[in-house]
Structure 1
């Protein structure tokens, strides 16, 4: 029996999707299942995993409450700080910059990714350390200022390290902005501030939500910046996972924290998507 046209399309679609689906199953789904199994077990006497069926590891999550608190507080604050810095830059690149120089300026935004984050973070360790900004402050009479190994240092590292990831989605959203809407707003007598709040900002919200969600999700698993700029005093969940898996070798407890982190990421994603769809729906209604 000859296959119908719809059946052929489904078969072709299945063949195209199969490699990506297999990749996700092997490198995402199966490892996550293993982590869930580990989280229901117990720590072996010599360290590692010992089969069991218990929720004791999840009940022990308050023992790492400081890591969860630092992550769930500093990650959103860092994402918002990135947004505050990134939006004017993206707005200038997309709306105000000379088109002849726009490609070069956008390329400069991506240049920091050409250097390892480790090297760039070490640079900030020197800048915020005793020989950097605090040393300069002593020259003007301000002494005993400690910037390194503080939440402030971690936030500085977050903004510096993740700023390009926030700029690019906003830039793409603003670059697609229909300039005729801005002209129409000006022709109707709206001031620049009113045009920005009523037209530009709502139309750029999908890019804003994408950037905030992307940066926040990556920060939830951040390890390097808190480790170097926090100096072991500002722990994130990523630092707790490294300690549990590689040092204390408590794989079940580390797995329970990892599963909880994945659930937090899913909640953040769903919330960001719901808010983005709501903003998009409101925007469509306003335009109509």
Structure 2
């Protein structure tokens, strides 16, 4: 929790002023790349994050980029807006690419990103797997992306899909370290939200949500009208990191699901209840 990050969409930009006083200055705020928006919307949202005193991390979804020229133009727009230093590259949702890019690695290979002011690139990790991608393919993809970033001299950061099982996440982080990556890992978790909403997102992203797992996370399937926060999940993960120094640098990344102010207030209260940064 010393250096947690947040994830929003461009629709959440209006909530930034009210939430700003709750969020530590310099916090990374990822801005997702939505399928129904023009690239200029992502650029403008990232600039709003910067103007509010935070570090914008705009997402670029490979399968939604129609050509190399479009990709280069988008990078130029981000650079001109002063928000290209930190990027998050991901394959994206379309089953078939809309252009020549099928995954994040193909974006990394396409151009010299540093020429556009890029210094750090986030890539995705899946501690509880992916509904449409085999586990061995996920590992090979992670290795490939890290290798491409090393070749370009860019700083990588691995940001995971959200999950409910801290034990599975700790095991996965250990495997990442065993494969030779010693850089930052940001572990995804949903901010406080209604139980029904959490389960809906879990189903959408293929995250394990069995009765045993959700009990470990801290809510009951018998109370679908209630809300739940990641308190239990984080404390379990903190215990795992404390037990095993080999897990290295781990920070939290919160998916706000439209509730930036609620997530920011929860994070402030969690840190305060823990006696300060933890």
Interval containing the TM-score (normalised by the shorter chain): under 0.3
TM-score of the two chains, using structure 2 as the length reference = 0.23
TM-score of the two chains, using structure 1 as the length reference = 0.22
Q: Which has the higher helix share?
A: 1
Q: Which has the higher strand share?
A: 2
Bigger Rg, which one: 1
